[in-house]
Amino acid sequence: MDEMVLVPGSTCQGCGAAMAARLTFKVLGPNLIRHGIPCCPDHVSKHPRAGSVFEAGGSSLTGTSRALKALGRTDIKAVAFYGDGGTYDIGFQALSAAAERNENILVITKDNEAYMNTGGQRSGGTPKYAETTTNPVGPKSRGKGEPKKNIPMIFAAHYVPYIATASVAFPEDLMQKVKYAKDIEGFRMILIQAPCPVGWRFDPAKTIELARAGVQAGVWPLYEIEHGTSFKLNYKPKELKPVSEYLKPQSRFRHMTEAEVNEVQGNVTTNWARLLKADEMKTVVL
């Protein structure tokens, strides 16, 4: 496997997204056109990068994929490396349309849960209670007031061939998913949680530990959905670790009261039960 990531990169120390890029593109190899739209970090790999406007990442991938087909170059893949803004928010419409058309594209979303390129503002991927630069905590604000958008399920509801979540703390699982998705025909999306030491405010040496704590607490579960229905939970510990182990090292959550932590714990526990049920039934349960 070739190392495709740019060295030296333009990322901060302990950047989860850089790790996601390294693992992903190692599996995908050189034979692809990588699409980028404004996100942090963007210049991550040695591939030809075809970027377009922020709001139409799904469309530019579509154009590349269809042109490759028209030119008979199906050996080359159209791959995106987008952020949560380009997936959950401004880029959502175009990606949703590309999913609905089942375009032959692979979307890698590294989810760092805020607009990190512009300094950490709230996104649709920001979890409840997280403090961002546009959700400052104050007498009238407890950080973000709403839960994170359930984007994997939303894309699964387009009945596309493959949706998966992954974590930089589980590199074998991540790489296996990329390998599997690589050769599927149609719309594939892998959402990788990418801890951001600057935005989430934690020790850059602890990126992997933090990502692992998120998966082990059930905050960022690892699963796969095929064709919008078939569900598989990939990591099932006997017992979930408490969410506090994940929340505590991050200063974006430091204002949270015990009651608020308990609320998050309650939601995660309920969701986990639902995921276990889905896994047992091998079908999506919402």
Which of 11, 24, 59, 193 is in the footprint of another protein by CB under 8 A? 59
Which of 29, 69, 118, 273 is in the footprint of another protein by CB under 8 A? 69
Which of 4, 79, 94, 189 is in the footprint of another protein by CB under 8 A? 94
Does 74 bind another protein (CB under 8 A)? Our answer is no
Q: Which is nearer to another protein, 70 or 286 (CB)?
A: 70
Give CA–CA dist 90/79, Å, rounded: 19
Helix axes 207-216, 16-28, angle to 10 degrees: 80
Does 2 bind another protein (CB under 8 A)? Our answer is no
The helix (run of H) or strand (run of E) holding residue 221 is none
Does 43 bind another protein (CB under 8 A)? Our answer is yes
Choose one: 11-19, 95-103, 234-242, 256-264; the region binding another protein (CB under 8 A): 95-103
Tally Cβ neighbours within 10 Å of residue 245.
16
Does 53 bind another protein (CB under 8 A)? Our answer is yes
Does 55 bind another protein (CB under 8 A)? Our answer is yes
Q: Say which DSSP state 216 is in.
A: H
Does 60 bind another protein (CB under 8 A)? Our answer is yes
Is the CB of residue 104 less than 8 Å from the CB of residue 181? no
Tokens read off for 51: 């970027």
Q: Which is nearer to another protein, 130 or 189 (CB)?
A: 189
DSSP assignments along 259-277, one per residue? HHHHHHHHHHHHHHHHHHH
Q: Which is nearer to another protein, 36 or 221 (CB)?
A: 36
Instruction: Classify the C-alpha dihedral 244-250-253-255 as positive or negative.
Output: positive
Q: Say which DSSP state 71 is in.
A: T
Give CA–CA dist 187/28, Å, rounded: 16
Which of 11, 22, 32, 64 is in the footprint of another protein by CB under 8 A? 64
Does 154 bind another protein (CB under 8 A)? Our answer is no
Does 87 bind another protein (CB under 8 A)? Our answer is no
Phi, psi of 223 (to 5 degrees): -150, 170
Does 233 bind another protein (CB under 8 A)? Our answer is no
| Footprint on this chain of another protein (rule: CB under 8 A) | 33, 35-36, 43, 48-53, 55-56, 58-64, 66-72, 93-94, 96-97, 100-101
